[in-house]
Homo-oligomer: A and B are copies of this chain.
Amino acid sequence: MSQVSIKDIARAANVSHPTVSRALRNSPLVNRETADRIRQIAIRMGYRPSAVARSLVTRKTNTIGVVVTTIADPFIAEVVSGIEEIANERGYSVVLSNSNADADREVKVVHSFHERRVDGIIVTASRVGALYLPLLSQSKSPIVLINNQHTDDDDFVHSVMIDNVESSRAAMQHLIELGHKRIGYIGDAAGFQSDTERFAGYRQSLALAALPFLPELVAHGDGKPEGGARAMEKLLALADPPTAIFCYNDMSALGALGAIHTRGLKVPGDVSVVGFDDLFFASFTRPLLTTIRQPKRRMGRLAMETMLKLFSGENSRTAIRVNGELIVRESTAPPNAVRGASAT
C-alpha cells in the first residue's frame, strides 16, 4: 500500500472511516480512548492526510499563488519572503510562478492558478495589472497587487503600494537641497507603473524648484545593472552632463555607479547618485548608496495579511500605501564647485 488512507486506519482500528476522520481532527464528538487509539495507529502507519482529497470537499486549498516577473530579482525575492513568512505561519503554501514580465505568460499563470484552485493570488510588480480584471471576475479568487498598475475603480482589486510620487520627491528634494540644478533620471524602458510614478515625482520636484525639465537628461535602462550602466553612459556623453542622477531603482543605480567609475569620474564629487529600493547591497557599494528604502518584507507581509482578511470575510476594498524612507549615505553631495554653481 503506497499511501495509507483513513480507510486503512479504520480497518486496523475496527471503526468506520468517518470516525477516523473525526478522531484525527480532534473532534470532541469522539470517545477519548478510541480517539487516542486511532491516533496511535495513524502514527504507527505513517499516515499523512491527503490535502488534495480534503481540498476537493472543503473547496479550499490553503494555497496562494504568487506571480512574479522573476524570483531572481532581489527586490521581489524580499517581498516574496515576507509573503511566505505570514503564509507559512498560517498554514498556507505559496505557489510561485514567474511571468518574465510577458503579458501572455502572465495570463497563462493566472489560469494555471485558477485551475489549481488557489485561494488567492498575489501579483508583484507587473506591467499588466489591468489584464487581470476580466480573468478575475471569472476565477473569483481574491487578488492583491503589490506595486502594481491598477485603476482605482476596480472593486475587487486590493493592493499594497509604495508611495512612489512622494518618495521620489523626497529623493529629489535631497538632491535639490544639496544645490543640484542639472539632475538626470534613469528609468526603466519596460513601462512599469512604478517607473511612471517615480518619473512623475521627478518632474514635479523639478517644477516645484523652478528647475527646467530637460528631456536629454532622462535615459532608460532595463531595471538591471547593465541597463543602468548603458543609460548612464549616454548621460555622461552629453556635452553638459548632469551633476546628479536619480535612478528608478538600486539595480540601475548599481550599473550607473559602475559606468561613472569606468569613465574615471567620482561619486559623489563629479556626480551624485540616488537609488530606490534599498536592496542589501546598497550598504556595500563604494561609495555607499543614498536611496529610498522600501519596506520590502513588510509589503509582502501586508499583502498576505490583506489576503487573510479577505478570506475571513472582510470585503472592504483595501489599498494600503506605505511610505518610502530616504536613506542618505555617501553617494550624494553638493555639486562639484569647479563645474557648476556652488551649493548651500
Cβ–Cβ contact B49 & A115, under 8 A: yes
Binds B, one of A186-194, A278-286, A315-323: A278-286
Chain B minimum-CB-distance residue to A286 = B286
Residues 62-86 of A, flagged 1 when their CB comes within 8 A of B and 0 if not, give 0100000011111001101100110
B286 & A140 in contact (Cβ 8 Å cutoff): no
Q: Quick check: is A94 within 8 A (CB to CB) of the other chain?
A: yes
Copies held by the complex: 2
CA distance A254 to B281 in the complex (A): 8
How many residues of chain A have a CB within 8 Å of chain B?
Answer: 52
> Is A111 in the interface zone, CB < 8 Å from B?
yes
Please report whether the interface of chain A is mostly helix, strand, loop or mixed according to DSSP: helix
- Per the 8 Å Cβ criterion, residues 7-62 of A in contact with B are 46, 48-53, 55-56, 61
Bound CA span A142–B280, Å: 35
Collect the chain B residues with CB atoms within 8 Å of residue A283's CB: 225, 258
Asked if A2 CB lies within 8 Å of chain B CBs, one says: yes
Chain B residue with the shortest CB-CB distance to A229 = B284
Please report the C-alpha to C-alpha distance between residue A96 and residue B93 in the assembled complex, in whole angstroms: 7
- Which residues of B have CB within 8 Å of A84? 71, 96-98
Which residue of B73, B94, B257, B261 is within 8 Å of A96 (Cβ)?
B94
Most buried by B among A52, A74, A94, A97: A52
- In whole Å, how far is A248's beta carbon from the nearest beta carbon of chain B? 16
Q: Decide if A88 touches B98 in the complex (CB within 8 Å).
A: yes
The reply to whether A115 and B74 contact each other, CB–CB distance below 8 Å, is no
Among all A-B residue pairs, the 3 with the closest Cβ atoms: A286-B286, A72-B81, A51-B116
Residues of A near any B CB (own CB < 8 A): 2, 46, 48-53, 55-56, 61, 63, 70-74, 77-78, 80-81, 84-85, 88, 93-98, 111-112, 114-117, 138-140, 225, 254-255, 257-258, 261, 280-281, 283-286, 297
